[in-house]
Structure 1
Amino acid sequence: MHKEGTFALTALGVYVCLGVLWWLTTRPSTVLTTSFLMDTNERWNPTWGWALAGVLTAVVVTGASALGPVSVRSETASWLLPTPVDRRAMLWPRIGAALGLGSVVGLAVGRLAAFVAGLEHWLPFTMLGAGLGTGSVALAVLVQCGVLPAWTLRVVTAVCVSGAGVAAIVAAAGGTVVLITSWIPVLVVSIVAVALSAMSVWWCGRITLARMSIGSETTVATSVSLTMLDLSMVTGALEQRAWRRVARRASRRVPTSRTRALIRIDAMRHARRPHSLVIATGAVCAGWTLSTVLSPIAAAWMYLVLVFGVCMIFSVGLRALCADTALAVTLGADDRLLRLPLTVLPTAAAVITMVLISPLVATNPTMMALTTVGAVTAMYRTRTRAALTYDGLILETGYGQVPVELIRQKIRGTDALVLTAALLAVCV
């Protein structure tokens, strides 16, 4: 029975993925320009395809670095790898699977970029995306082997993000940079990707147990998060890795007042890891560029998503407090008195982002206030959500069981976003 169930789930996943790929390949290239979400008064610029390709390639590189990309289970790392075995022969199937997954993700990236650019002849750029995805994973494997330095992936990510930013600026300014439609660049990128893949398979025996265990932690956290429908596990694992890189910092004196001390500690968290400021700056730049091509309703929804994202980034302290009941008891105060000071920083970040992100020529105070309040409310409800419980009310239907209690827990925070989006559609 176990084999039949595994086969059914695998077949269902393959069917859904093939259906999505078929849907992507059969969409007309002008579907975006005719959508109500786009500003039909503006001529669609294919340069946006380059911007999307740069951002998604950076995401692929970062994801490959976070997942290892080669990882093994704890029992394999403890019992098998310390023995005198041929490590390269044992690891190359895993590397082949990682390279194949990178190729598939790259195909999706290339097709989406060609879809956004409105290319009629989209196959060359799609294959270019497959080469970039495979090469990104191969680079991550070479870094994990120690053949390339660790800063290689950071440089590649910075180049991709910078290129995406330049493409967005060019597109917003009215310039045009068409996507590649010839096969010569695709051939060059494919040769480089194959060479990097061959090098990664050849040198995979150099991967140490320490490097594989780092990737396995993230892999296990991702698997558990998908199983338990709770992304806080994988985000917590990634945050722990980030704080390990920060290492030690000098102690600072905090105010004697509990409220001011909580605010100061929350601010020092972002001062010691300033990546949150970089992400907020990217959100503001994305709002500036996308507002030139989106319709008013789509722009308002985009503002809501970006402001909510900034709120979530700056509310890490609130999440840490709500997730650790022992810490709240140690601080010795009511939950509301502890939570409110930790909402000061995300609220200020939301207000500043909303002010900077709104176009100066079309500022709508009602829209700005509604977006800010809705984003902060959704952030507070999401961060103060209790740990998921998988018991409770289950509704028996003719199509199976519906976990009503689990759904109620999961929509806490999302309901505020949906309500705000509905109000924005009426007010804008």
Structure 2
Amino acid sequence: ILLDPSLLAGLVESRRWRRIGRVRSRRFRPGPGWWALLQADVRRLRRHPSAVLIWAALIGVQYAAALALPGLAGAAQVVFAYLAANRLTGGLRSVSRSPGLRRALGGSDNLLRGIHVVVPAVGAGVWWLLTVPTVDPGPAWLAPTLALGVVAAAFRAGTRPPIDYGGATVNTPFGMIPVDLMRQGSRGPALLAVLVLVQLFLG
């Protein structure tokens, strides 16, 4: 579970949707297919208010971190922005990890993923703007680059394929290390680590 938290996350999400049960269906606003899918992703958030609450709570956490550790406020902003965006990638994860769902929805895989990255991208952008006062201004290009990098990291994590547990392992004095499992699990967090280093050295 430590190396693949998606196992636990998938179970929790499945139970949450079962608790919701039936909901009242409403028509989407007229428009092309991509517009209907985007509305469905937004409506998904309305039925999952805890994701929005965590997104908002992380704003307060960032302000608290800036007061407690002002020297690390920039790095904290990058990490918390990623966590906030990641809370909004439920639709992206669903379409990325279910070939059957993608076939049912129609369209190319890139189109479906592009539609479902809109909500986390907008959420990350708004979150970033709301926390700008907590960090010292650096080079003009740095903040937009980091914000786009956060969206890219959340996208990589959200589009990660199901974990393959049959990958290579390395025998070390500390035991067997599942290097391939660690490589798969680092999709997204690895880019986040690079962004944190960039912020620490250039911010």
Moved over 6 A (4+): none
Report which of the two has the higher share of helix. 1
Which one-letter code corresponds to 1:427 in the other structure? L
Alpha-carbon distance change, 366 to 400 in structure 1, aligned in 2, over 3 angstroms: same
- 1:425, 1:360 → 2: CA distance? 15
Structure 1 gap segments, 5+ residues each: 1-224
- 2:64, 2:178 → 1: CA distance? 41
* Offset from partner CA, 1:394-420 (integer Å, 9 cap, x none): 345566544332222122112101111
Q: Which position in structure 2 is the counterpart of 1:284?
A: 59
* Offset from partner CA, 1:191-240 (integer Å, 9 cap, x none): xxxxxxxxxxxxxxxxxxxxxxxxxxxxxxxxxx35xx321222222223
Which one-letter code corresponds to 1:230 in the other structure? D
Larger Rg: 1
Aligned residues: 201
- 1:373, 1:303 → 2: CA distance? 13
User: Matches of residues 264-303 of structure 1 in structure 2 within 5 Å?
Assistant: 264-296=39-71, 298-303=72-77
Instruction: Give the drift of 1:361.
Output: 8.2
Q: Report the aligned-residue RMSD.
A: 2.1
Alpha-carbon distance change, 422 to 362 in structure 1, aligned in 2, over 3 angstroms: closer
For residue 383 of structure 1, the aligned residue among 158, 161, 165 is 158
Which one-letter code corresponds to 1:347 in the other structure? A
Instruction: Give the drift of 1:336.
Output: 0.5
Which one-letter code corresponds to 1:265 in the other structure? A
Alpha-carbon distance change, 392 to 247 in structure 1, aligned in 2, over 3 angstroms: closer
The alignment partner of 1:292 has SS state of helix
**Contact 2:62–2:134, Cα closer than 8 Å, also in 1:** no
Instruction: Give the drift of 1:302.
Output: 0.8
Q: Which position in structure 1 is the counterpart of 2:17?
A: 243
Which one-letter code corresponds to 1:404 in the other structure? V
Which one-letter code corresponds to 1:271 in the other structure? R
- 2:185, 2:108 → 1: CA distance? 25
Structure 2 gap segments, 5+ residues each: none
**Contact 2:73–2:135, Cα closer than 8 Å, also in 1:** no
Instruction: Give the drift of 1:426.
Output: 1.5
* Offset from partner CA, 1:320-344 (integer Å, 9 cap, x none): 1112111111222211011001000
- With structure 2 as the length reference, what TM-score do the two structures score? 0.88
User: Matches of residues 202-351 of structure 1 in structure 2 within 5 Å?
Assistant: 225-226=1-2, 229-254=3-28, 255-296=30-71, 298-351=72-125
Comparing 343-352 with 241-250, greater Cα deviation is found at 241-250
- With structure 1 as the length reference, what TM-score do the two structures score? 0.44
The alignment partner of 1:291 has SS state of helix
- Give the share of equivalent positions with the same residue, in percent: 29
